[in-house]
Amino acid sequence: TAFVCMEGVGHKYDLSPNAPMAVQDINLNIHRHEFVAVVGPSGCGKSTLLRMVAGLLIPSHGSVSIFNNPVVEPRDDVGIVFQKANLLPWLNVKKNVLFPLKHKYGRYSKDDEKRADELLNMAGLSQFSEKMPDELSGGMQQRVGIVRALLLNPDILLMDEPFSALDALTREQIGFDLLKIWHEKPKTVLFITHSINEAVLLADRILVMSKRPGSVLDLIKVDLPRP
Ligand code: ADP
Ligand code: ADP
């Protein structure tokens, strides 16, 4: 069975009868540990799709489930990375990545700290763990955001254009770092991007969303061999 399953999913933000569907007729299965990228032009519904998997948006049509459970709210086992890391400016890098654990459980353990160090190291940030966010470049801040999401050890990682604010070179470097981390500990990943290059570099499978007049949605599946 698929890990993430969308059946007949569509969404209308505006429920008046003549309003257009933002997305429509999405049937999608993502398998456990699959890395799926979604590409498509602005406004085709990529973020809408991701927010429905995240439980941040309940679709007006169809159903979304994770491991056979309908998604009705955000889940602890689903991590999300947005375009901006939104780090807490008064905490250093390490405290930022540990913050969700602290917030959730009131504390974190020595093991959590060790894992934070490991992940920061894999993300090329070990020398920066005591720095404050505003001492880091945008690319580094994004990496910190990814490490923060991974530290919660989610089964599923959702990323909504995580690198789009970065320059091409930085994007590529972070992409490689992310791949390294992904190979160490595979996760089910849904990765939204404008960039077909990023999708080809990172994903097992690329979904192409397009928007024709009349707001019809196409999903085209391309299976890629992994390098
Ligand atoms: P993408 O992420 O591919 O740029 P979105 O999912 O953001 O696309 O948007 C898909 C469609 O839904 C667009 O037509 C957009 O204008 C509309 N839309 C997105 N968010 C909202 C919202 N909160 N309220 C109303 N319409 C929205
Ligand atoms: P891994 O060894 O890759 O970390 P887990 O220990 O997280 O995998 O999961 C082991 C098995 O438990 C999975 O193959 C799956 O069948 C099941 N499983 C994992 N996550 C869930 C979940 N959220 N709900 C139900 N079953 C799950």
What is the maximal distance between C-alpha atoms in the chain?
56
Q: What is the pLDDT of residue 214?
A: 36
pLDDT in tens, 27-71: 889 999 998 999 888 888 899 999 999 999 999 999 999 999 999
Q: What is the pLDDT of residue 219?
A: 58
pTM here is: 0.82
* E strand residue ranges, the chain: 4-11, 23-30, 35-39, 61-66, 69-70, 78-81, 156-160, 188-193, 205-212, 216-223
Q: What is the pLDDT of residue 1?
A: 60
CB 55 within 8 A of CB 74: yes
218 within ligand 2 shell (Cβ under 6 A) = no
CB 93 within 8 A of CB 131: yes
- Here the tokens at position 99 are 């913050």
Ligand nearest the Cα of residue 41 is 1
Q: Whose CA is nearest to atom 27 of ligand 1?
A: 13
Q: Whose CA is nearest to atom 14 of ligand 2?
A: 32
Q: What is the pLDDT of residue 213?
A: 38
Q: What is the pLDDT of residue 72?
A: 95
Ligand nearest the Cα of residue 69 is 2
Which residues have C-beta atoms less than 6 Å from ligand 1? 13, 22, 40, 42-48
Q: What is the pLDDT of residue 206?
A: 87
Ranges of the chain whose pLDDT falls below 50: 213-216
75 within ligand 2 shell (Cβ under 6 A) = no
Q: What is the pLDDT of residue 220?
A: 59
CB 170 within 8 A of CB 202: no
- Taking the centre of ligand 2 as the mean of its atom positions, its distance from the CA of residue 81, in whole angstroms, is 22
